[in-house]
Structure 1
Amino acid sequence: MLAALAIVEFLGPCRFSHFNALGLPVGKPVPLPVVQVGATALDQTDQTLDMIRAMLSESPAEKVYGLDIGKSIIQFRSGKPGSIKPKATAGRTSEGNRPSFCLMDECHHWVSSNGGPEFFQTLKRNIEKTTKAGSRWVSTTNAYNPNEDSVAQIIHESEMVTQGYWLYDCLEGSIDVDNIRDEAAVRAALVEAYGDASWADIDGLTRTILYDRTTPDSTYCRFFFNQIAESSDGWMVKSEWDACFSETDPIRPGDQIACGFDGSIRGDSTGIVGVRLRDAKLFVIDVWEKPKHAGIDWEVDVLAVEAAVHRMFATYRVEWMYCDPPYFQEAIGRWAIEHGDDRVFEYWTNKPTRMTQAVERFRTAVMVKDISHEGDERLSRHVLNAVTREVSQGILIQKDSPRSKRRIDLAVCAVLALEARADAIADGRLSIRRSRVVGF
């Protein structure tokens, strides 16, 4: 389809000229057709360019229009201006081009690491400067991963789409990830997602999804069902997290604890999670989340946070507190002065080496049930909301997209709390009460 559009934009009467005597619109060719096939790497343009060359070489167009169909560029033998050629990420060298039509394929792979968003902005800007002459662009994509902030996601979340200025078309298979082993549900969702693509092997795809365990379910959701909401790789398995629930031996005042603090002012939640030193039982000390119907002026009650911290130190024997400094660095300094600089410490979560190790230790502790929790709905929700992001140092956790309202702050607090517990025990802070034996 993209190849056909490129050929029509290059040779065909694809711009409005006038209405004929019957009142029907009449088209005209583009005077200087500059068709670009955009990608973040030249080899990604091969599939579309190969199809364009195949269509043209198997038709009379090569002779009728006098085309020079080369490997990397299609142009007129006569020297007439106009071409179809690839365009790959090249920084500022792309600025100033005036394409009449631009194809952007597989833009779910256009991410920050390969310069995709910047390249997209350059191509779009070049098109926008000649839209009055009819210049236009089209992008095609699979469902994007919401934690990659790709060009596909940027387009989907743009107000130009939500306000109807850009045409957006998408078919998604209606299936819940929990039903991905239900044959009838899988088949129905595939039929829905593939639409009139009669060449798709629905039976083969169904078998693959049902019986192939080497591929994550999130990948099937993205590339087979075209689902965006289910495309993130969840950090925690719900069944494993639920298995750590314990209602015995509740947390009591006076218990020795460590805690983690993650603070924000407007955008995210602020929370404090504690963990008992002797058995690694997690519990929520407090959390401040933006109410659903709160306006844009809502802010975390800083005084309430201060009060909760002081109340925590008065209620429990706090041996170690790790705090993520942004937004609360001054307050953290006061807490260290008031409660002891050998108890309150900064822990920068934007240090990937340290944070990936902490995330891995927490995940392992859940898998082997070295920790427990009280079943607090808020903590469970934040932990299960977290998705993974792979960096060179390992795995980090984050929200499923930058604008997501699915908070994960208590999950971060829990990770910090477990790190605080480990360091408190390593420092010799754990004191275990033993029954006194009296002999006669």
Structure 2
Amino acid sequence: MSRQCQIPVGNDAVQLPPSSWSPWSHPPACSEVNTTTSKPASDTLRFCVYTHASYGGGISIVATPETAAGLAAVLDQASVAKAAPPINGPHLKIQHIPGKGLGVVAGQAIPRGTVLLRDHARLLADVRFPLHVRRAQGQTLLHKAAGRLPDPDDVRSLSRSVKAKPGEARGVLEENILSTNSFAVTVEGFAYMALFPEIARINHACKPTALTRFNNKDLTQQVVAFRDIEPDEEITISYTDFGLTHDTRQETLKRRWGFSCTCDLCSGGPDATAVSDVRRRRVTALRAEVVAHLQQGAFDTAIAAYEGELLSLVRTEQLAEHMGEHYEVLARLHLAAGNRTAAATYAQRALDELETFQGAIDPGSVARPSGNSLEEMRAFVKALRRQDERQKKQQKKRPKTNKKGKRQQNKQNQGKGGQ
């Protein structure tokens, strides 16, 4: 099916027949333009709620008519999406976690690289809309967005209070849920806050047991085992970027999600925290050193820094989703230095890492495990193997030295020297 540009639909859709709303199941509901803003009128955007009740478990989007048209095309091109199964099952279960409330734990041993969960976005909100819409109107849009879903409780049950407080304005509940449970994603070049109800139940840890991957082709997100997970071990993801020091992590979590982290890394005591911070700062410094060596053409020095210290620190602090990207870098460094055997070894390791995680990679995945695709890495490994085979063939074609003749020649030379 060829991709077609959707016609923007706003408030005028109310006067149009339902077929004109397609693929939306409700007429879009739009906000008024915020005239109190200091922005010029030309810079003020109108935002509307668009709902597709049959996509996954239903999805509501807060966006401009123009960006919603692009999202409609995405939904139109995506494969038929079924609602994600609930977490409670043989491999995952929801239970009380001391000090955290509810959380998700493994119901059985889970190997590294396993896709634990695939969830559809229920709410998708353009990050610009709070800047262009009065807060009360924004809350009304969010309330309507949740209310139009087949099961509004998919969203509203994520609040600890479940129901709005007496006298509380409509939409405050949904606003709080979105601000504390959403993920930052990019679709069609625009940034959104995305709410995945099942994934939202997974708690944070600075050294998580799992990671997330967003697919911008069907607006789903996966949770993938970061390492081998034991039965009854908690499934955790990191809400912050990898590599941040303790104080930066705590400040980010408090400001963005409203809590202080008490994971094993953060509650290990000041000495353990200080050691971890030193390692993380050293990783940043080593990366800069490696880049400087590369700029000078000092490949062997860059390799020594990478293999001698950087690789070990990254493993210890779990600063990468997996080691594939680092093995790929080392493969290319060794190739540049003329070390074909080492290059082939690291390239194969990188490929092994990518293939371990290939079940977690969708064609539209924004966060790939390496700068290059799996197919490109396979091609790189094949190219190195072909070069190695050609080199071996060339060595075989070289004339062999006759050892007996060489010994005889040496004796003759010795005899001449003795005369």
Same fold per superposition (TM over 0.5):
no
TM-score normalised over the length of structure 2: 0.29
Q: Greater strand share, 1 or 2?
A: 1
Higher helix share: 2
